[in-house]
Amino acid sequence: MNQTYPFKFWCKQQVNRFAPGLFFIGLVLLWECICVFGKVPNYILPAPSSIITAFLNVEFSRWMTHLWATLRVALMGFFLSIIIAIPLSIGMMRSELMNRVLYPALIVIQSTPVVAVAPLIIVLLGTDDPSRVLITCLITFFPLVVSTTTGMLETPPEMIELSKSLRAPRYRETWQIRIPYAIPHIFSGLRVSITLAIIGAVVAEFVAAEEGLGYFIQFSTSFFKIPQAFAGLIFLSIISLLLFKSVQWVQMWLFPWSLPKKK
Amino acid sequence: MGPVPNKTDKNLTYVSLKGVGHKYDPHPNSPMVVQDIDLDIHRHEFVAVVGPSGCGKSTLLRMVAGLLVPSHGSVSVFNLPVTEPRDDVGIVFQKANLLPWLTVRKNVLFPLKHKYGRYSSADEVRANELLEMAGLMQFADKMPDELSGGMQQRVGIVRALLLNPDILLMDEPFSALDALTREQIGFDLLDIWREHPKTVLFITHSISEAVLLSDRILVMSKRPGTVMDLIEVDLARPRTSKTINSPRFAELTDIIRGYIYEPNVPV
Amino acid sequence: MKTKLKFTLFASLITSTSVMAADKVTFQLDWLPGGDKAPVYVGIQQGFFEALDLDVSIASGRGSTDALTKMATGQSDIGSSDIGALMAARAQDDVPVVAVLPYFTQAPHAFFVLKSSGIKSIKDLKGKKIATSPFTSSNAFLPLVLKENGFSEEDIQLVKSDPGALAPMMITGNADAIIAWVTNTALFKNQASSVGKEVIEMPWSDSGLSLYSSSLLASEKFLTERPDVAKRFVKAYAKAIQFTYEFPDKAGADLHKMVPEVDAGIVSAQIKSITNLVFNDVTEKDGFGYFTPERIQKTWKYVAEANGLEDDALEPMMIVNNDFIPE
Ligand SMILES: Nc1ncnc2c1ncn2[C@@H]1O[C@H](COP(=O)(O)OP(=O)(O)OP(=O)(O)O)[C@@H](O)[C@H]1O
Ligand SMILES: [Mg+2]
């Protein structure tokens, strides 16, 4: 009798701890069963087991080559868009003229399908990394501009009045007040951007590349190796997920105060 | 300057408002927000402003602070027209507005860091002294969100005192606090004021708070805000919780309440 | 001992300088690596290019237009793409690219059906549901083929779908026939046999659609600025084509070596299945590696009709440069 309550509690705890993992494993098993017992052919929906086999059949070093190619472009594009977006937002926040001139231009750029301008980029910058980095950057920088600008504009007006009442130089208003206040917004932008960066790199590889996970998937499809394409796809999503998490870790590590308060 | 007695010196006018009026919209037909305000605040005087919401109290304060140029009349501080914010005027806002990424001590030192880009160890010593005085020393290295609302507000006051301003402008500094904390922090403010005599312009929604703290109370009318009365608070200092129970305190609050709830009573 | 060391040093110096001096050539594919793209890989692996002092790098492409654009803008020097696409482009624009060597002397387009469907010839397709991919050049030639067989597009039900979905559609019975290139034959057979079915190909070249298709194209800039390099390249490339179709298994291994994701076996099967696109009665008659004016003319006629262009929009021999044919 005495034992029951803690035991129940322990069980509940364990269920909470392992439920997400068990759910995932269950899902994969269900998928496997549907494929095996339903006799679904590989070219329609490959079974998890054949995806794993396909994954192992590709040499590890090849995976690393493709991973590095995609990651390199995605990260360079991501950092380039940070370098462009943040100063741009500061400029637009500080100058009404710049805001009015640039904002429509940014929206036009954002709503242009990158695939449509990609051939032009390739002609201008060649078929190497620079083109792919630019394509990635074009896809990633808009959410960053929007989130940074929003964040800086949402600074409490009292803080701005405090800065004015001190007659502090404007750059300090930007650096010591507006930017830190924008940090939570900037990080939501970064989380969106990092996943877009992977998509951007893959889109760029669809246009021109000799390696990379996007190229690998396209290539596998061209040989109708669907399980191999799925393996590439799943690998890609895991990388996206890890990058997304990394952005959260960086925020937790550098700006713990900017995280939403836990209840 | 030397030690100064904490007594209003009627011979020295620190803040002077003459025929001050303001409208945010420059259009000729747009309504005035505040109108015809005449007020002199003397050295080390504690003046409270009460009035209905939207009557232009904050507008008035921002004009004294040099954050807003009045469209009519003139505001002067130390007999000089106010054209921009001055170093000898400090402001405390309604919400504490501490920076969440800085410790309490760094928040207190923020005005120096923000204005000059740095502070000296002497400044840190001063910040510690002020924190000590406000009873916040043990929280100096805590982050703002680890403090209660009342403590955060005290940090805001300490921050305004860092640059040792002669004039302190406070815009509903305690309105975000619960009633108990509010009364206590009112007494704390009086203690601080006694130790560091300042000329204070204090905006509040609370009639009893105005009576408890101030030397004079400016009662404003509904929009457009005009002066309905300027009431002399003749309660002895130092004021304590006993003051609240005195008949004169009740009398004064009743007078003001009369203005706020029956605005048609002739002055 | 000392002289020997000196000699080795000298020899390595020569080889290293010769490697440094090798002429760089960028080769453009019109799609991703695959069996039909094997010759350039064979040329590299078998040392045909190196022997003629060429240092060749390969760029994959995303369709014939993409390949043409990359050659026209100087991203690459020479490459394989569809001569029909070049004709259509030249008829409308002044694209500085010309054809230097035929590769496929027959059209690669084909219908594929399951043996179990009972369809035996193109005529049997009347009233059937046929799947094709949205952007393939085959679509333009489809009306011509149907006309040759006495019916029109109105007599069939044409559906468009992703290239990767075509074979599954046929195998699952969602389409009676599909349109694709014969370069895919080996892959389709593979897919169908995994569920115990058999695929039959019906090449359009068998029913009158007789034309040049995939060819070796080069940018005019490359040909005028480095004619000597171009000449050597074409020579080595022609040799590589011969080798590829003579030794499909070696070619498969060579491609696999450079692109490990590709199975050597599939590649050699692909090569075997398309040999008659490269070596056939046309090459028998005209000889390998030579564009005849008659066949160019004929190709243009088809291209013009398929793309709705005027017959006089292009003087077709203008897009051919026979000066680089290896002796
Ligand atoms: N920046 C501004 N631009 C335009 N109108 C303003 C601005 N600031 C305040 N107002 C208007 O001026 C009037 C007075 O505002 P103010 O903030 O001074 O009132 P208040 O007495 O402080 O009110 P509360 O007690 O609610 O704080 C209000 O009607 C407000 O809408
Ligand atoms: Mg206000």
Task: Return the ligand number nearest the Cα of B205.
Answer: 1
What's the gap between Cα B194 and its chain centre? 15
| Ligand 1 contacts CB of residue B22 (under 6 A) | no
Question: How many Cβ atoms from other residues are within 10 Å of residue A240's Cβ?
Answer: 18
C91-103 tens-digit pLDDT:
988 899 999 999 9
Whether A44 sits inside 8 A of C172 (CB atoms) is yes
Judge whether C68 and C270 are in contact, CB under 8 Å.
Answer: no
Q: In this structure, what is the dihedral angle of CA atoms A143, A149, A153, A155, given to the nearest 10 degrees? A: 80
Which residues, including other chains, have CB under 8 Å from residue B6's CB and lie 6 or more apart? B44, B193, B194, B197
Whether A41 sits inside 8 A of C164 (CB atoms) is no
ipTM: 0.88
In percent, the amount of chain A with pLDDT more than 90 equals 67
Quote the CATH superfamily of domain C2-106+211-324. Periplasmic binding protein-like II (3.40.190.10)
Residue of B265 and A85 predicted with greater confidence: A85
Q: In chain A, whose CA is at the least distance from the CA of C62?
A: A207
**Residues from chain A contacting residue C195 (CB–CB below 8 Å):** 41
| Ligand 1 contacts CB of residue B59 (under 6 A) | yes
Whether A62 sits inside 8 A of C194 (CB atoms) is no
The number of the ligand 1 atom at minimal distance from the alpha carbon of B94 is 27
CB pairs under 8 A between A and B: 56
Q: Which two tokens stand for residue A226?
A: 């669907």
What is the rounded distance in angstroms from the CA atom of residue C273 to the CA atom of residue C252?
A: 13
Residue C1 has pLDDT above 80, yes or no: no
Judge whether C270 and C186 are in contact, CB under 8 Å.
Answer: yes
Q: pLDDT tier at B2 (50, 70, 90 boundaries)?
A: very low
| Ligand 1 contacts CB of residue B31 (under 6 A) | no
Q: Which protein residues have a CB closer than 5 Å to ligand 2 (ion)?
A: B 58
Of A42, A210, A222, which has the smallest distance from its Cβ to C34's Cβ? A222
Task: Return the ligand number nearest the Cα of B220.
Answer: 1
The pLDDT of B212-239, averaged and rounded, is 91
Cβ–Cβ contact A213 with C under 8 A: no
Q: pLDDT tier at C248 (50, 70, 90 boundaries)?
A: very high
What is the rounded distance in angstroms from the CA atom of residue C185 to the CA atom of residue C36?
A: 11
Burial B46-58 (b: 16+ CB within 10 A, else e): bbbbbbbeebbbb
What is the rounded distance in angstroms from the CA atom of residue C216 to the CA atom of residue C237?
A: 9
B75-79, C40-44, C190-194: which range is least confident on average? C190-194
Q: Which two tokens stand for residue A185?
A: 């917004």
Partner residues linked to C109 by β-bridges: C181
C93-152 tens-digit pLDDT:
889 999 999 999 999 999 999 999 999 999 999 999 999 988 788 888 899 899 988 889
B38-96 tens-digit pLDDT:
999 999 999 999 999 889 999 999 999 999 999 999 999 999 999 999 999 999 988 76
The pLDDT score that the predictor gives to residue B3 is 40
The pLDDT of A35-62, averaged and rounded, is 89
Residues 53-82 of C with CB under 8 A from A: 58-60, 62, 66, 69-70, 73, 75
| Ligand 1 contacts CB of residue B56 (under 6 A) | yes
Please name the residue whose Cα sits nearest to atom 28 of ligand 1: B54
Task: Return the ligand number nearest the Cα of A161.
Answer: 1
SS3 C199: strand
Q: In what order do the strands lie in the sheet with C97-102?
A: C54-59, C23-28, C78-82, C214-219, C97-102
The pLDDT score that the predictor gives to residue A32 is 93
Centre of ligand 1 from the C-alpha of residue B19, in Å: 19
The pLDDT score that the predictor gives to residue B11 is 77
Amino acid, res. C75: Q
Q: In chain A, whose CA is at the least distance from the CA of B91?
A: A162
What is the rounded distance in angstroms from the CA atom of residue B4 to the CA atom of residue B161?
A: 17
Centre of ligand 2 from the C-alpha of residue B175, in Å: 10
The pLDDT score that the predictor gives to residue C65 is 86
Please name the residue whose Cα sits nearest to atom 4 of ligand 1: B24
C53-68 tens-digit pLDDT:
999 999 998 888 889 9
| Ligand 1 contacts CB of residue B58 (under 6 A) | yes
Please name the residue whose Cα sits nearest to atom 22 of ligand 1: B58
Residue A31 lies in a domain: no
B96-148 tens-digit pLDDT:
689 999 999 999 999 999 999 999 999 999 999 999 988 899 999 999 999 99
What is the rounded distance in angstroms from the CA atom of residue C288 to the CA atom of residue C280?
A: 9
For every residue of chain A, DSSP letters joined together read -TTHHHHHHHHHHHHHHHHHHHHHHHHHHHHHHHHHHTT--TTTS--HHHHHHHHHHS-HHHHHHHHHHHHHHHHHHHHHHHHHHHHHHHHHHH-HHHHHHHHHHHHHHHHS-HHHHHHHHHHHH-SSHHHHHHHHHHHHHHHHHHHHHHHHHTS-HHHHHHHHHTT--HHHIIIIIIHHHHHHHHHHHHHHHHHHHHHHHHHHHHHS-SSSHHHHHHHHHHTT-HHHHHHHHHHHHHHHHHHHHHHHHHHHHH-GGGSPPP-
Which residues, including other chains, have CB under 8 Å from residue C71's CB and lie 6 or more apart? C28, C77, C78, C79, C81, C97, C217, C218, C219
In CATH, what number is assigned to the domain containing residue A234?
1.10.3720.10
**Residues from chain A contacting residue B156 (CB–CB below 8 Å):** none
What is the rounded distance in angstroms from the CA atom of residue B133 to the CA atom of residue B151?
A: 13
Residue A1 lies in a domain: no
What is the enclosing helix (H) or strand (E) of C58?
Answer: strand C54-59
What is the rounded distance in angstroms from the CA atom of residue C11 to the CA atom of residue C9?
A: 5
The pLDDT score that the predictor gives to residue A255 is 95
Residue A68 lies in a domain: yes
Residue A76 lies in a domain: yes
Judge whether A73 and A129 are in contact, CB under 8 Å.
Answer: yes
Q: What are the angstrom distances between the C-alpha of B185 and each of A102, A231, B214, B241, C142?
A: 49, 65, 14, 12, 88
**Residues from chain B contacting residue A163 (CB–CB below 8 Å):** 114
The pLDDT score that the predictor gives to residue A2 is 56
Tally of structural domains, chain A: 1
Every domain range in chain C assigned CATH 3.40.190.10: 2-106+211-324, 109-207
Helix axes A48-57, A4-37, angle to 10 degrees: 80
Q: pLDDT tier at B263 (50, 70, 90 boundaries)?
A: low
What is the enclosing helix (H) or strand (E) of C59?
Answer: strand C54-59
Judge whether C35 and C267 are in contact, CB under 8 Å.
Answer: yes
Domain that holds residue A104: 46-256
Burial A89-128 (b: 16+ CB within 10 A, else e): bbebbeeeeeeeebeeebeeeeeeebeeebbebbbeeebe
Helical spans, DSSP H, in chain B? 57-65, 104-116, 121-133, 149-161, 179-195, 207-213, 241-245, 247-261
The pLDDT score that the predictor gives to residue B22 is 93
Residue A19 lies in a domain: no
What is the enclosing helix (H) or strand (E) of C43?
Answer: helix C38-45
Phi and psi (nearest 5°) for C54?
A: -120, 140
Please name the residue whose Cα sits nearest to atom 3 of ligand 1: B24
CATH code for the structural domain at C109-207: 3.40.190.10
Helix axes C83-92, C293-307, angle to 10 degrees: 70
Mean pLDDT of chain C: 89
Helix axes A129-153, A114-125, angle to 10 degrees: 130
Residue A144 lies in a domain: yes
